[in-house]
């Protein structure tokens, strides 16, 4: 195996780092944690200005999956907000893969210019991991589709320009076959957005759809082919586009703090630091492998599952370990006098639980690995 980054990849990484240094300021980070909207337009525009958003659209052929990995890996390590662009770029990739020419021309440029974000309407109040059972209905009425239902966890719906929406179009077909995906503007009449506040300060949303009318131009992929469109998106997402190296900023803050307070010489603390650092590095290597498989023309769905499963569980172990070491100062939040690791232990302890839930729970990843990698019998 050769782990050498090409000079082009190093130049690309340095450019990403300099854009982050210019835009992801302490004030910006503070603002994001205060509002709970993990999206930073100044960062998005700066990436767009250098053409990096366009290059990062998966499958579009402008940049390779290695670049995509480097981009999100650098954003994660810097603690930069990437939730918004990760979804937007992924959906741009889906539109590129299954969309009409008109959709490609109308939507992709607005995303890669950094002006428009996309939010995802997949999960529903009653259907999360079992997303193929969703009940939001789209019914054809002449040349219109009329959509009614409700979605949960529509993160960024309050700022996004576009919505990708999974609906049921045929109730007679088996559950995976009666689904259709739509892409529509968020300002389409009939959409209601209400905030859902989370314990990690992150602002997500619940959304309602009351007689939302769109034409065929909003159908993304085939009618009743929504599941296939979903799978394209998932293959892009798992492993490569963030969510697999979130413990690195905490490690940096924590290592600094233990030095400041004189805990760094304690061998037990050193053991915890080294274990966390190894786990973080394995997380990135598993992600790097998924990117390499994608760059070699493969679909790293399974390897992405392994990376996501390991990385998110490792992140939670790290937080637990550092919480124990920091004890009371680790309970203190941002800006509190004497807060360990500048309040990041409190933040990451609030944030890390969601990482084994979203993007496919750990149990869904284990099902995937057990059935497709180990060849064990399907049991659902």
Partner 1 sequence: MSFDLGFTTDQTTITDLFNSFFSNESRPEVARAAEPLGFDADLWQKTLALGVAGMAVPEANGGGGASLSDAVIVAEAVGAALAPVPIVEHMVAARTHPITDLVEGAALGTIALTPAADGRWSFVPAGAVADIVIGVDGGDIVAVRSTAPGVAPRNHACQPLAHRSSRDGDRTVIGDASSFERVVAEWKTLTASTLVGIAQRSLDMGVQYVKERHQFGVPVGSFQAVQHGLADIPGLIDGSRILAHKAAWASQPDVAQTIEPEFNEYTDFSVVASMAFLFAGEAAVHATDRSLHFHGGYGFSEEYDIQMYYRRARGWRLIAGDPRNEYVALADKMFGDN
Task: Give the footprint of partner 1 on this chain (CB under 8 A).
Answer: 1-6, 8-9, 64, 66, 73, 77, 245, 248, 251-252, 255, 259, 264-265, 267, 270-271, 273-275, 277-278, 280-282, 284-286, 288-289, 292, 295-296, 303, 306-307, 309-310, 313, 363, 365-367, 369-371, 373-377, 379
How far is it, in rounded angstroms, from Cα 284 to Cα 192? 39
Is 194 or 373 the residue whose CB approaches partner 1 more closely? 373
Nearest approach, Cβ of 70 to partner 1 (angstroms)?
Answer: 9
Is 277 or 331 the residue whose CB approaches partner 1 more closely? 277
Is 142 or 262 the residue whose CB approaches partner 1 more closely? 262
DSSP annotation of 78: T
Q: Are 92 and 60 in contact (CB under 8 A)?
A: yes
Nearest approach, Cβ of 32 to partner 1 (angstroms)?
Answer: 20
Nearest to 70 by CA among 112, 113, 12: 12
Is 166 or 307 the residue whose CB approaches partner 1 more closely? 307
Nearest to 248 by CA among 331, 344, 164, 169: 344
Q: What CA–CA distances, in Å, run from 133 to 1, 123, 171, 188, 196?
A: 43, 10, 10, 25, 23
DSSP string of 218-254, one letter each residue: GEESSTT-HHHHHHHHHHHHTTTSSSS-TTHHHHHHH
Sign of the CA dihedral with 91 first, then 94, 96, and 101 last: negative
Is 255 or 299 the residue whose CB approaches partner 1 more closely? 255
Instruction: Return the structure tokens found at 302.
Output: 């399974």
Nearest approach, Cβ of 254 to partner 1 (angstroms)?
Answer: 10
Is 5 or 199 the residue whose CB approaches partner 1 more closely? 5
Nearest approach, Cβ of 259 to partner 1 (angstroms)?
Answer: 6
Nearest approach, Cβ of 122 to partner 1 (angstroms)?
Answer: 23
DSSP reduced 3-state for 6: coil
Nearest approach, Cβ of 212 to partner 1 (angstroms)?
Answer: 38
Is 115 or 130 the residue whose CB approaches partner 1 more closely? 130
Sign of the CA dihedral with 248 first, then 252, 253, and 255 last: positive
How far is it, in rounded angstroms, from Cα 131 to Cα 151? 11
How far is it, in rounded angstroms, from Cα 350 to Cα 202? 10
Q: What CA–CA distances, in Å, run from 106 to 88, 109, 146, 185, 230?
A: 14, 7, 22, 11, 21
Q: Name, in order, each residue with C-beta under 8 angstroms of 91's C-beta and a sequence gap of 6 or more.
A: 111, 118, 120, 162, 164, 183, 233
At 11, give phi and psi (nearest 5°).
-60, -40
Nearest approach, Cβ of 246 to partner 1 (angstroms)?
Answer: 11
Is 265 or 328 the residue whose CB approaches partner 1 more closely? 265
Q: Are 332 and 326 in contact (CB under 8 A)?
A: no
Nearest approach, Cβ of 22 to partner 1 (angstroms)?
Answer: 17
The H or E element spanning position 145 is strand 144-152
Q: Name, in order, each residue with C-beta under 8 angstroms of 192's C-beta and a sequence gap of 6 or more.
A: 207, 208, 210
Instruction: Return the structure tokens found at 248.
Output: 């690195």
Is 167 or 321 the residue whose CB approaches partner 1 more closely? 321
Nearest approach, Cβ of 295 to partner 1 (angstroms)?
Answer: 6
Nearest approach, Cβ of 63 to partner 1 (angstroms)?
Answer: 12
How far is it, in rounded angstroms, from Cα 164 to Cα 194? 17
């Amino acid at each position: 195996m050769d782990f050498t980054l090409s000079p082009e990849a190093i130049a690309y990484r340095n450019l990403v780092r300099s854009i982050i240094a210019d835009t992801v300021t302490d004030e910006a980070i503070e603002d994001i944690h205060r509002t709970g909207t993990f999206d930073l337009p100044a960062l998005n525009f700066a990436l767009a200005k250098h053409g990096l958003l366009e290059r990062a659209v998966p499958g579009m052929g402008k940049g390779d999956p290695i670049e995509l990995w480097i981009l999100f890996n650098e954003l994660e390590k810097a603690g930069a907000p990437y939730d918004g662009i990760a979804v937007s770029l992924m959906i741009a990739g889906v539109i590129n893969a299954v969309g009409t020419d008109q959709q490609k021309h109308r939507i992709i440029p607005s995303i890669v210019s950094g002006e428009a974000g996309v939010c995802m309407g997949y999960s529903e109040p009653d259907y999360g991991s079992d997303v193929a059972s969703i009940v939001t209905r789209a019914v054809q009425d002449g040349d219109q589709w009329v959509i009614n239902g409700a979605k949960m966890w529509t993160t960024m719906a309050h700022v996004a320009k576009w919505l990708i929406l999974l609906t049921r179009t045929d109730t007679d077909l088996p559950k995976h076959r009666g689904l259709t995906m739509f892409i529509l503007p968020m300002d389409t009449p009939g959409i209601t957005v209400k905030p859902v506040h989370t314990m990690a300060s992150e602002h997500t949303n619940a959304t309602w759809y009351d007689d939302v009318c769109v034409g065929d131009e909003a159908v993304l992929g085939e009618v009743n082919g929504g599941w296939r469109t979903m799978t394209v998106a998932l293959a892009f997402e798992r492993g490569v586009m963030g969510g697999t190296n979130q413990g690195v900023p905490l490690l940096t803050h924590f290592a600094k703090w233990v030095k400041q307070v004189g805990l760094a010489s304690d061998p037990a603390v050193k053991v915890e630091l080294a274990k966390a650092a190894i786990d973080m590095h394995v997380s990135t290597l598993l992600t790097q492998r998924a990117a390499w498989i994608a760059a070699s023309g493969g679909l790293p769905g399974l390897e992405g599952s392994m990376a996501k499963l390991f990385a998110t569980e490792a992140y939670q172990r790290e937080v637990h370990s550092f919480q124990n070491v920091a004890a009371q100062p680790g309970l203190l939040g941002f800006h509190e006098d004497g807060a360990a690791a500048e309040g990041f232990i409190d933040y990451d302890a609030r944030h890390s639980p969601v990482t084994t839930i979203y993007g496919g729970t750990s149990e869904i990843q284990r099902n995937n690995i057990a059935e497709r990698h180990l060849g064990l019998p399907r049991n659902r």
